[in-house]
Amino acid sequence: MNVQLRRAIKEGIINFWRNGLVSVAATLVMVLALFVIGSLLFSNVLLTSALSRIEEEVDISVYFKKEAAEDEILSVKSALSQLPQVKAVTYVSEDEALERFKTRHTANALITQSLDELDDNPLQASLNIRAGDTGQYEVIARFLDSSAYSKLIDKINYFQNQVVIERLSGFLAAARAVGFGATLVFSLIAMLVVFNTIRLAIYTLRDEIAVKRLVGATSRHVRAPFVVEGALYGAISAVVSIIIFYPITMWLGPASVRFFGGPNLFDYYLSNFFEIFLILFVMGVLLGVISSSVATRRYLRV
């Protein structure tokens, strides 16, 4: 580290402390901006996890007409298994469907009695199809509709789950857009506060700056301490923000598992601590350096 850099860092730290409450105010605004950025990271993890979990539970249920023979249904199962879009196919016979239905409604005496009074099994044989990706279900449905097996099929039921996926995907996109907008707004506010803080520091130190000019100080030498000061606002704000997230994620951790099915936010915070801190640190320093650089270029004529 050369002498000029050490001097710039030293003067930047002195400027930071000299500004007192103004530095505290600028740091708090920067903390708020970084807190919004961090909150966006955590909310994105939760929403993405919820979407993935629902996608894993989505499948196509193909119900066959009563006259469809079991060997014909198994033939359809074999044809579906050969499709690259299909991950798994499960055959559920009429008898198995009835047993499952009875098991689910054992506590309902009326349903059990009604089934016992029927001469025939009212339930249909079906195939439960799981695709490798939710976007491939439409391809599978079109294959069934256009194939020779369509005359055996009574109905294909997957659209209800697909609506849930589309709504959650839309909500995720909207949440990301709102989060990005909030991040942009608070980042601009933080930059404006740092900008005005540096402007105030330049005005306060105008005599020292004039002396530096008289002794032939270069433009970089005069501006560097103010840029360091701006970087300090960002660095300190990142440290404060990551500390604030500790009790918040600890408190929200159980709720994130209970309502979203995981991951535990506190566990995510601990396992990704350095990555999260690095993001906040880089963002904070960038905001501080950019705003202080703009301020020095505008108000320092060296």
pLDDT tens by residue, 266-301: 999 999 999 999 999 999 999 888 888 888 887 776
The whole-number pLDDT of residue 243 equals: 96
Average pLDDT over residues 52-57: 72
The whole-number pLDDT of residue 240 equals: 95
The whole-number pLDDT of residue 138 equals: 79
pLDDT tens by residue, 76-107: 899 888 888 888 898 988 888 878 877 777 77
183 within 8 A of 36, measured Cβ to Cβ: yes
pLDDT tens by residue, 60-84: 888 898 888 889 889 989 988 888 8
How confident is the prediction for the chain on average, in pLDDT?
81
Average pLDDT over residues 173-192: 81
Residue 144 pLDDT > 70: yes
pLDDT tens by residue, 222-257: 778 888 888 888 899 999 999 999 999 999 988 888
Whether this model's pTM surpasses 0.75: no
Structure tokens, 79: 């044809």
Q: Which of 261, 45, 86, 278 is nearest to 172 (CA)?
A: 45
pLDDT tens by residue, 204-219: 767 676 776 666 666 6
Domains, the chain: 3-54+165-299 (no CATH), 59-157 (3.30.70.3040)
Residue 125 pLDDT > 70: yes
